[in-house]
Amino acid sequence: MEDTSRDFLVELLETPSPSGYETRGQRIWLDYVEQFADDVRTDAYGNAIAVHKGDPDAPEVVLTGHADEIGFIVKAIDDDGFVRPGRIGGSDPSVSQGQHVTIHAADGPVEGVIGQNAIHLREENGDEPEISDLWIDIGAEDEEAASERLEIGDPITFSSTVSWLSETRLAARGLDNRVGTWAAAEGFRTAVEAGTEATVYAVSTVQEEVGVKGAQMVGFDLEPDAVVVVDVGHAVDYPSAPSEKTSQMELGAGPALGRGSTNHPVLFEALRSVAEDREIDVQVEALGLGTGTDADGFFTAAGGIPSQVVSVPNRYMHTPVEVIDTDDLEEIATLLGAFASDAEEFAPFAVDI
C-alpha cells in the first residue's frame, strides 16, 4: 500500500465516528477525495458525496461505504459518579467489560474504563452481561464531579486504535466500516485517474449501524444507475469459528461478492467479470435474506436501484480487535475503480425477463 493511502486509512481509523457523531471522520474523508473530485458536498445529516462528472450519456455509478462505527452513549450518571452507557449500534457487552473507553465530551476527551468484577468475586459460569450491567469509571467522586466533565448524550468509543500484526494484517476497532469508505475513496481515485466516461460518485454515509439511514437519504437524492457498497463480512478462518453460520470467507483470499436477495445479478456478474479480467481472486458470500448493509437502504430508495455488496473479510466483527488483510482491501479498491471505468460495457443494469 502506498504511503499516502496507508496514512489516509490510519487517520480514518484513529478518528472516532460513532453513529450520529460522524462529522470529524467525514471531514477527513472529504479532504482526501476533494483532490480528485469535480465537486464535493454534504447533506443535512452529514452524508458526504464526491462526484466526477462524466459523459451525460454514460452510466452514473456510486461507490460507497459507511462512516459510522458502533459505540456507546452516556445514558445516565449515578450518584457515585459512574457513567451508565447505552448502545450505539450493535455494541457487544460480552467484550466490553475491562476495556478502556473515551467519552467525547464538549470540552475534550474523558478517559474511562468499563468496570468488571475481579475473577475472584465472580460466580462460575455466570450469565453474559447485558448493556444494563455495564458501568464506566472515570475516577469521579460523585455525580456532580462527573457532570462537570461530561453530559448526557456524549458519545463513547473504545480507546483502542490501530495495530499492524504483520505487513498486511491490520487490527483495529471500527474497521467496520472505515475500510469501506477508504475503498470507495480509493476506487473513485482510480476511476478518475483512468479517465472513466461514467459519472462516478464516491459516498461516505452516516448511521448505517442504526438502520442504514444515510443510504436511504443518499439513494433518494442521487438516483444512480448502480451502487456498489463496500462493507465487512465474516471471515471464519480462526479457531472455534462457527463456520456453519456463514459463508466460508477467509483473510487474504480476495474480495467477497454478495450473491442473493438485495444483490443485483447483473452487477454481481459484472464485478465477477471485471475481477477475472484484472486477475483479482474473489470469494462469494451467500446473502439470501438481505445484506445487513447500506445496500438494503439504497436498492429501494428511489424505486429500485441496482445494488451490490462487496465485502472485506473481517475477523471478530463488532469487537475492539477486528482484523483484516489489507491485500483484500487494496484489491477491492482496484475492483471498484475498474468497474467504474468499464461501467458502460454492462449498462443498462436490469434483469432480463
The reply to whether 209 sits in an annotated binding site is: yes
The reply to whether 231 sits in an annotated binding site is: yes
Strand partners, 62: 201, 227
* Cis amide bond preceding 177, omega within 30: yes
> For residue 221, which of 38, 93, 51, 353 has the smallest C-alpha distance?
51
The reply to whether 318 sits in an annotated binding site is: yes
- Grid cell locating 80: 457515585
Q: Helix, strand, or coil here: 132?
A: helix
For residues 193 and 183, what is the distance between their CA atoms, to the nearest angstrom?
15
- Grid cell locating 294: 447500506
- Grid cell locating 248: 466460508
- Asked if residues 275 and 332 have their Cβ atoms less than 8 Å apart, the reply is no
List the catalytic residues: 208
> For residue 303, which of 225, 214, 195 has the smallest C-alpha distance?
225
For residue 138, what are the CA distances in angstroms to 118, 135, 165? Answer: 18, 10, 30
CA contacts within 13 A on the Cβ side of 333: 22
- Grid cell locating 33: 477525495
Burial 85-94 (b: 16+ CB within 10 A, else e): bbbbbebebe
For residues 319 and 77, what is the distance between their CA atoms, to the nearest angstrom?
25
For residues 261 and 2, what is the distance between their CA atoms, to the nearest angstrom?
36
Residue list, annotated binding site for Zn(2+): 66, 176, 209, 231, 318
